[in-house]
């Protein structure tokens, strides 16, 4: 018999990225001059809100990616509507990875550190086998401590991303002359947002991926040490 867990739909990372990040940013950057900043903000909000609602109905879980996408659009559009730029956009760019890092750090002191949720996916790894081996060896406490340390390293990677975001944003988001026409100000701000989006992919994503690879290696090293399982033994065959 198929269980509820098995029939539950998997989260689609590609659609998450498109609906929660790419489309809202494109709308804020390109549509403001055609439909106005307020309507562009509302249209941009519709995508993460709609996808989050769809995902909640389909998977019975709150989509954290959609929540972050909503906050990102609200802050970006809100700052633009208020006529704020420069330093405040740099603060906004740093705030999101910092907030995520705080959430991840807090999870390290719970029964289920975030690294466990992120990497130990039952659909990919033999989690039951891992728990069985840890119990046989009496290494549950030691492994939990290992997961806690891995989660703290992950939170450090978000802190590093926040710092890089702030430095990059301070270079890109310069103050816009309030004496300029509103359309010109909006155009300049949209160009800065587009530039930030482009550069952040290279400057921030690459170090983040390297961090994740290092944390995954650290996690698998702990699994081998405490449970005696290799990566091949732990991964499920498709």
Q: What is the pTM of this model?
A: 0.69
Considering the domain architecture, whether residues 142 and 98 belong to the same structural domain is answered as yes
CB atoms within 10 A of CB 20: 26
Long-range contacts of 195-200 (CB under 8 A, 24+ apart): 196/89, 196/93, 196/168, 196/169, 196/172, 197/25, 197/29, 199/168, 199/172, 200/93, 200/165, 200/168
Considering the domain architecture, whether residues 23 and 77 belong to the same structural domain is answered as yes
Query: Looking at the 3D structure of the chain, how many domains does it have?
Result: 2
Considering the domain architecture, whether residues 121 and 148 belong to the same structural domain is answered as yes
What does each of the 238 residues of the chain score in pLDDT, given as a tens digit? 334 444 445 555 567 767 777 777 777 667 766 777 677 777 878 888 888 787 777 777 766 666 776 777 777 767 766 766 778 888 888 887 888 889 889 988 988 888 887 788 787 788 888 889 999 899 889 999 999 999 999 999 989 988 988 999 888 888 888 788 777 777 777 778 778 777 877 777 788 888 889 998 998 899 899 988 888 888 877 5
- For 21, the token pair is 């990040």
146 vs 84: CA distance, rounded Å: 44
Considering the domain architecture, whether residues 215 and 103 belong to the same structural domain is answered as yes
Domain containing residue 69: 1-82
């Amino acid at each position: 018999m198929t269980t509820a867990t098995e029939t539950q739909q998997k989260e689609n990372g590609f659609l998450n990225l498109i609906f929660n990040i790419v489309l809202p940013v494109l709308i804020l950057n390109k549509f403001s001059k055609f439909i106005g900043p307020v309507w562009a903000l509302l249209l941009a909000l519709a995508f993460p809100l709609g996808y989050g609602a769809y995902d909640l109905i389909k998977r019975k879980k709150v989509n954290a990616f959609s929540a972050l996408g909503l906050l990102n659009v609200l802050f970006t559009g809100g700052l633009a509507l208020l006529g704020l730029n420069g330093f405040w956009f740099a603060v906004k760019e740093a705030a999101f990875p910092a907030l995520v890092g705080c959430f991840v750090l807090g999870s390290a002191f719970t029964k289920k550190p975030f690294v466990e949720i992120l990497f130990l996916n039952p659909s990919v790894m033999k989690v039951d086998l891992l728990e069985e081996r840890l119990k046989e060896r009496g290494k549950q406490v030691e492994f939990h401590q290992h997961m806690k340390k891995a989660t703290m390293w992950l939170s450090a990677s978000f802190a590093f991303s926040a710092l890089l975001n702030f430095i990059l944003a301070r270079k890109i988001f310069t103050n816009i002359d309030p004496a300029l026409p509103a359309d010109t100000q909006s155009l300049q701000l949209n160009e800065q947002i587009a530039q930030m989006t482009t550069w952040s992919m290279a400057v921030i994503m690459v170090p983040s991926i390297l961090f994740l690879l290092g944390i995954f290696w650290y996690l698998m090293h702990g699994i081998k040490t405490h449970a005696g399982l290799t990566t091949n033994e732990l991964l499920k065959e498709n």
